Amino acid sequence: MKVSEKALLGLLALLPGMTLGEETVTTNETVQVTAAPLPKYRTETTDAGTLVELPPERSPFTVDSLTEDFIRERNATDLDQLVTLQPGIYQGGKTVMARQAGTYTIRGYSGSEVLLGGVPLSGGVVTFLDPTLLERVDIVKGPVGGAYGAQMGSMTDLMGAGGTVILQPKRASFEEDFYDFLLKGSYSKASGTRLKFATDVNQVFVDERLAVRVPMAYEWREPGWAPSDAGHGTTFSAAPSLSLRVADRLEAGLDLFYQYSDQPAFQGVRTLYGKPYGSGWDDTYTRPGDRMRFQTFGGTFRLDGDVTDWLTLRTRLSFFQTENRYDYRGPYSNTGFDPDPASNKRYEWGAGDRLARTFYAGQDAIFKFDTWGVDHQFLVSVNTTVKESQGWSGFTSTGRGGTITEENYLETIKASGYSDTRQQKVGFNVQDLLEWHGLSVIAGVRADWHDSVNHVHEWTFSPRFGVSYDILEAGRAILFANVSLTETPNFNYKRWPDNTGSSPSDYLDSTWRAVQKEAGIRVNPTGSLWLTGTVFRIDQSNAPIAMDNDLTGEGYYSDDGKTYSQGVELSASGDITDNWSIYLAYAYIDYYDKTNGLRFDRFPPHAVSLWTSYKAPWFYDAVFGFGARWRDDWMMTFRGQPAGEDQIAKRLLTFDASLDFPFTENFSLGLAVRNIFDSRGVESARNLQAFANDGRTFELSLRFRF
């Protein structure tokens, strides 16, 4: 028996209290359904940080979601440029040639490795990932061990205390067929010329049971700072996705990812009192043959479905491989070194050829039930991650006794820089989300068993608790608070300098800990506009600190490190009117090193970011955009400590403007000017290798959608 759509809608309209995210209007004869417009800068629901779907305003945790509309309007060149538009988020050098490459500092602490659909991506390749491949970027604030597990980072900055960045790739959609093409060109005297061609094609087949989506992007780049005979750079990225409706409530999918890049290598410039020393902002130490090349491929198989009305299962199987090759000459990155341009000790050589693999398998089960009027989503999950890395990498300089020459630096690095590592993590997570009359409570704990290549084993436990309460029971004002603990093992940090590293007792056997306390309020004054205010404090203890780590690399560590970071975050995000959207955010961070009794601005203590867009119905529905970003002074560091009063990054203020003009329903022209007043300064730094922000940039884009 076939039921008509009209009869089905009529039946749903008779069910009390039932809505489908739409406004339903009943007449005597027909049922008319008018879909509400989706906000540009706000996602309807997300499971980032909570592991179960919730409207973001009801989450007990802080999650900033950058929607597809926001990503498109900001038109960022790469992920790094997009993420660092947010105040309070920074990274240690825009490069794949550093230990911290691909990780971000959030709330004063280095974040976890970037997750692509829940799976960690290492090697720094995400730094140059094209944002047009992404559906959304979720930035989860605070220690994340209770949700995603303690990180396995070794010999890097501490991971997981500040938060993590989760990339949601575009997935095949059953809603419509479309073809989307983008052609963009940009020019900057400082950054050079870029040309990009991107496509996004979605097709539905087999009676709407199979959907295929293929987002791709190709970029050609000629950096303004590179030597004239260095050659151009190219990057190709693709994220094909396939979704199959196995049954009415069961969907299988395969999300693939590929990226290849070959670019001139660049490792920053030296600065003094916030200005380039002995060079300009866009000078380079790069030789014509210096290159960085990386290739990443892999994918995730997913199986999602409601087995019953009370049980939902999620299955993930993933594999990713990254090969990273580089060879460069850059400014010397250590302190206490003569930066005189005439000195033959002013640079270092770096090189590497490494292969990294990540294997992941996870199973989540979500049980939905109620007890005495309280709704539960009870999650039980188990997953395992294996990370392998083989190859050689390192750097050396003429500062090491003056014995290193341009002819023998590769042999020096290869002889001392080879390593073969393997780390495995098995995690178990139990969590319950309780909802009752505007009150939401999340409580859970995650346990992780770690195993390193040095046969060091460690258990870590990361509990968390969060609560949100709709004080008006009308979705207009919501209080929230949380407390969480994240533990991570101190793997591969030698206990004493004379240890051989051949036994587990040679290494620290403790875990560093990060505890966050956070409270805030979210207010909805109109439409989809949400105002948020948050205060937080993160205390970190048992962190490894270097006791002796000279240029020979024979160092050792203790676990006496103690620091804290506290601050305030304010934001306004959403639609002010049907035609006017805004994203405005402010972050304040106060960082204190309790071990050494130092309070210093490790990162900009104050930062503001604004982007707003207005669709002008009186001017052919053209969309005008305007943005501004301001960051306060901050001190450059070496191994987490101030590099000196002369090593600072000065205040940086930039303005952007854009215009998107729709000639037809399917064709639009985009014009933009980034950094209108050509303000220059330190954007990020890896030790004393400072990376400048882009200069004034002109952009022209053409978009076709059918």
Domains of the chain: 1-36 (no CATH), 37-705 (2.40.170.20)
- How confident is residue 152, by pLDDT bands cut at 50, 70 and 90? low
Please state, in angstroms and rounded to a whole number, the distance separating the CA atoms of residues 59 and 117: 20
Please state, in angstroms and rounded to a whole number, the distance separating the CA atoms of residues 309 and 367: 9
The predicted-structure confidence for 21-80, as pLDDT tens digits, reads as follows 333 333 444 333 333 333 477 788 899 999 999 999 999 999 998 888 888 887 788 888
The whole-number pLDDT of residue 24 equals 36
The whole-number pLDDT of residue 376 equals 97
pLDDT of residue 250 exceeding 90, the answer is: yes
Among 59-63, 332-336, 689-693, name the most confident range. 59-63
pLDDT of residue 661 exceeding 70, the answer is: yes
Residue 611: closest CA among 656, 651, 668: 656
Single-letter amino acid code for the residue at 502: S
Mean pLDDT within 116-129: 75
Specify whether the CB–CB gap between 692 and 93 falls below 8 A: no
Q: Which of 121-125, 381-385, 572-576 has the lowest mean pLDDT?
A: 121-125
What is the DSSP-derived secondary structure letter of residue 526?
E
Q: Which of 145-154, 387-396, 648-657 has the lowest mean pLDDT?
A: 145-154
Bridge partners (DSSP) of residue 457 are: 451
Mean pLDDT within 237-255: 94
Mean pLDDT within 626-652: 89
| 281: Cβ contacts below 8 Å, ≥ 6 apart | 190, 269, 680, 692, 695
The predicted-structure confidence for 414-473, as pLDDT tens digits, reads as follows 877 788 888 889 999 999 999 999 999 999 999 999 888 666 788 999 999 999 999 987
What is the DSSP-derived secondary structure letter of residue 496?
S
Please classify residue 18 by burial: count the beta carbons closer than 10 Å to its beta carbon, then call 0-12 exposed, 13-18 middle and 19+ buried.
exposed
Specify whether the CB–CB gap between 44 and 55 falls below 8 A: yes
Helix (H, G, I), strand (E, B) or coil at 107: coil
Q: How many CB atoms lie within 10 A of CB 61?
A: 27
Helix (H, G, I), strand (E, B) or coil at 616: strand
pLDDT of residue 261 exceeding 60, the answer is: yes
- How confident is residue 399, by pLDDT bands cut at 50, 70 and 90? low
pLDDT of residue 10 exceeding 70, the answer is: no
The whole-number pLDDT of residue 555 equals 67
pLDDT of residue 103 exceeding 60, the answer is: yes
- Average pLDDT across the chain, whole number: 84
Please state, in angstroms and rounded to a whole number, the distance separating the CA atoms of residues 438 and 374: 11
Instruction: Give me the sign of the Cα torsion angle 704, 169, 376, 312.
Output: positive
Q: Which of 77-86, 98-107, 670-679 has the lowest mean pLDDT?
A: 98-107
Q: Radius of gyration over alpha carbons of the chain, in Å? A: 26
The predicted-structure confidence for 336-376, as pLDDT tens digits, reads as follows 555 555 454 567 888 889 898 999 999 999 999 999 999 99
Specify whether the CB–CB gap between 153 and 356 falls below 8 A: no
Greater model confidence, 645 or 127: 645
The predicted-structure confidence for 184-219, as pLDDT tens digits, reads as follows 999 998 888 999 999 999 999 998 999 999 999 999
Residue 597's φ and ψ, nearest 5 degrees, are 65, 40
Q: Where are the beta strands (DSSP E) in 578-679?
A: 580-593, 598-599, 606-616, 622-631, 634-635, 637-638, 641-642, 648-649, 652-662, 667-674
The whole-number pLDDT of residue 34 equals 34
Please state, in angstroms and rounded to a whole number, the distance separating the CA atoms of residues 140 and 162: 9
Among 3-7, 90-94, 201-205, 593-597, name the most confident range. 201-205
Q: Which two tokens stand for residue 38?
A: 């989706």
pLDDT of residue 704 exceeding 90, the answer is: yes
What is the DSSP-derived secondary structure letter of residue 507?
B
CA distances from 181 to 71, 72, 197, 201 (A): 16, 13, 8, 8
The whole-number pLDDT of residue 29 equals 41
If you write DSSP's letter for every residue of 664-694 in order, what string do you get? SSSEEEEEEEESTT----EEEEETTEEEEPP
Q: Which of 215-219, 524-528, 683-687 has the lowest mean pLDDT?
A: 683-687
Please state, in angstroms and rounded to a whole number, the distance separating the CA atoms of residues 263 and 283: 16
Helix (H, G, I), strand (E, B) or coil at 452: coil
The whole-number pLDDT of residue 203 equals 97
Q: Which two tokens stand for residue 487?
A: 């533990």
What is the DSSP-derived secondary structure letter of residue 2?
P
The whole-number pLDDT of residue 19 equals 33
Please state, in angstroms and rounded to a whole number, the distance separating the CA atoms of residues 509 and 512: 10
The whole-number pLDDT of residue 159 equals 58
The whole-number pLDDT of residue 530 equals 93
Percent of the chain topping pLDDT 70: 87
Please state, in angstroms and rounded to a whole number, the distance separating the CA atoms of residues 409 and 413: 6
User: What CA dihedral angle connects 85, 86, 92 and 96, to 10 degrees?
Assistant: -60
